[in-house]
Structures are given as C-alpha cells and as structure tokens.
Amino acid sequence: MSTAAPRPATPFPAPADLPAVLPAARARTVRLVTDDDALRATVERVCASAGAELVPVPFPVPFSGAAPGPAADAELLDVRRAGTGRVAPGTVLLGRPEDTGLWDRAAELGGCPVAVLPDAAGWLADRLAAVPGGPPGTGRRGRVLGVLGAVGGTGTSTLACWLADRAAGDGRPAVLVDGDREGCGIDVLLGLEDRDALRWPDLLRIAGTVHAEQLWPALARTGQLRWLSWGRSRPDEAPAPYAPVLDALRRAAAVVVVDLGRAGPATPETAALCDEVLVVAPRTVHGVLAARRAAELLAGVPARLVPAGLNVADLDDALAETTTGLPVAGQVRFDGSVPEAAETGRLLEAGRSRRAARDVARLLDAVGPAR
C-alpha cells in the first residue's frame, strides 16, 4: 500500500474547491493505461486539479505491466487492463466501485496502492501533486466499538450487527467489521454470504498503510451500512491486518463496530485496537463469572457490561457490576423470533423493532460520539 498521507473520502471536488497548487517549473507528467473513456475523463480532472499533465498512452499496449516510452512522474494502471508480472514502483492501480479483486491484483502486481474512482479522486490528486516528505494530512477519527461475548451463543454478533445498522440508519457513516476469524463470516447473519464482495482473505497479502480513500469505496454495503466479513472457508495462517484496516476505517467512518466473537486467546490483541468494548453476558451466574474472566483479558481497554436475555438467576445490575468490575452500559432483550430472523436474512429488520431499537439506541448513546 502507499505511504501517502490519508484524507477523508469525499465526492470528487470541483477544481475551485481544491487548495491552490503552486506550479513547478515543469508540470509533473502522469501516464494512464486504459481504454475506458469515462475513467480517462476522471483522471483528466484529477490531473487538472493537481497541476499535472496527463500523457496519453496508445491502447492496446504490448506490455506486461508498465507503459512504453520515457518514464513519467506517475504511472496509473486500469485494473481491467493490468497484465501479469510486477509493475514499476509507485504505480497506482485504478478501479471503479463495481470492480472486484482489486486488492488481490494489487498484491500480485507487487503491492501497489489502489484508488477507487471517483471516491478516491481527492487522495489521487494529493498524490500527484505531493512533495515527498510533506506534512501528513488529517482526517476524521471515528470511534471503534468492540462487541465481545463472555460465552458463546449470547447474541454477540447479533448485537454488533444491530449497533452498526442503527448508527448507519441515524445518518452516521458506519461499518460492521468481522473480527472473529473462526466464526465463518458475519455476512451469513446479514443474509449476504453469496454477495461478491471484498472480504478479509482479500486483504491478507496487503502490507503497509491502508488508506481510507482506497478501502471505504471498495467495501460491500447493504442500505447505508458497509461491512467487511470473513468467509466460510477455513482461513490460512497469514496474520490479519486488523490494525491498519481499522485505522483506515476510523478515518472514513463515524462508528466502526467490531464483532470480536467469544472471549479467548486472541481477544487481547484485537480488543486493544478498540476505543471501548461491550462485553455481552447472559443474566446467569455462569454468564457473570465468564464476563469477569473476559474483563481480565481486555488488559486495560475501557469496557462495559451488557446483560442479555432473561434474568433467570435474579441477578440485578449492581451485583453484576460488583462481580465483573464492569459498569453496565445497558441491556439488550432478545426475543424468540431473532434466531429465525437470522436464518432467513432478516436479522437487521428484527433489530429495527421497537423494543430492540430502543435498547440499541441507548447503548450507542452510552458509548458516546466519535472523537
């Protein structure tokens, strides 16, 4: 991935809205390999705003990765026209929101940066006009909220889906992130397991900084909610780039909800990337004791308790707080129709019912706004 400074993903700005760029003695040259007139027109506008000169490249090009002729200051390559082999260092792979396999192709071409246009037009303009070593940009800092199950089967993934969906429904940019590698994919709960979309296995070979402008438009979405899931195949042993991906997402979203799955050995590392963690536990003696163990795994990460389900053991919030050492953020009351809703792709709809929506809204209010 590129090491260029990130900037919030925004619609393509008009040249008059962009910061003035002092012209150099010689305009920077940019070469684009594509036969897509619409993509070329977008790049022309980007170059105009960056004070760069677009050098046409005849197509088709007899090459494996780089355009022929003298070297340009920047090389842009349409993913649909990418050949085989590695490309020149610094080449930017261009795609559209509907293009699939962008991240795999970027890895195969040597780990080049990706720009999904038109969403990443601002980032690309900065890159084409950038002075090496210049000051980094600044972006939003959304809130990363983890949801952790004290035990299995307590509705952790369901609550994560509902929290992210509620935030998106309130008009806040929100994304649901599957942080449970062994969970067979949170997209199953959404009823979207057959959707051709970017998933964690597509990101395992990407190293370095991940920019919000590249990642955000590539994410799958349902309604206003974007999501990033694991798949159903058993994942390989490559480490998941949770840290750079979550850092990029917090720059694009106001709320990032991470389903951490059931508390276990991997909990401390992933939970440490969250601003706060909600520990979901059933209202049972076993559930409360498990929540205390889960709290010990969090190693200083701010956390609160969410009692879930029926209070079959007559455990009040005060006793739960004393036992676990976690303040109660609020409750969530699941009903008997939720499992069926999850099996039939209606889980988000179930979370919008009056009672569930009220519980979820209170939890979001409790964890506070984005920074």
215, 265: one domain: yes
Q: Is residue 10 part of a domain?
A: no
- Retrieve residue 323's tokens: 């036992």
Q: Is residue 348 part of a domain?
A: yes
CATH number of residue 185's parent domain = 3.40.50.300
Total structural domains within the chain: 2
Domain boundary among 67, 96, 129: 129
64, 154: one domain: no
One digit per residue, the tens of pLDDT, for the chain of length 371 reads 433 333 333 332 332 332 333 233 356 889 999 999 999 999 998 888 788 889 877 666 544 444 455 568 889 999 998 877 777 777 899 999 889 888 888 878 877 788 889 888 877 887 887 543 333 333 457 899 999 999 988 899 999 999 999 999 998 999 999 999 888 899 999 999 989 889 999 888 776 667 787 788 889 999 999 999 998 776 667 788 898 899 889 888 999 999 999 999 989 989 999 999 999 999 888 999 999 999 999 977 899 999 987 776 677 889 999 999 999 999 888 778 888 888 888 999 999 998 899 999 999 988 875 44
292, 256: one domain: yes
Q: Is residue 7 part of a domain?
A: no
Q: Is residue 6 part of a domain?
A: no
178, 259: one domain: yes
Task: Tell me the residue range of the domain where 246 lies.
Answer: 143-367
237, 265: one domain: yes
Domain boundary among 88, 106, 129: 129
Neighbours of 264 (CB within 10 A): 15
- Specify the pLDDT at position 13: 30
112, 223: one domain: no
103, 154: one domain: no
Q: Is residue 115 part of a domain?
A: yes
Distance from the first to the final alpha carbon of the chain:
26
CA–CA gap between residue 293 and residue 324 (Å, rounded): 8
Q: Is residue 5 part of a domain?
A: no
Domain boundary among 72, 94, 129: 129
93, 161: one domain: no
342, 262: one domain: yes
Q: Is the whole-model pTM more than 0.75?
A: no
Q: Is residue 1 part of a domain?
A: no
- Specify the pLDDT at position 169: 92
Q: Is residue 251 part of a domain?
A: yes
CA–CA gap between residue 142 and residue 121 (Å, rounded): 22
CATH number of residue 93's parent domain = 3.40.50.2300
CA–CA gap between residue 221 and residue 175 (Å, rounded): 9
Contacts of 34 (CB under 8 A, 6+ apart): 40, 43, 59, 76, 77, 78, 80, 81, 94
72, 167: one domain: no
344, 300: one domain: yes
- Are the beta carbons of 159 and 189 closer than 8 angstroms? no
313, 259: one domain: yes
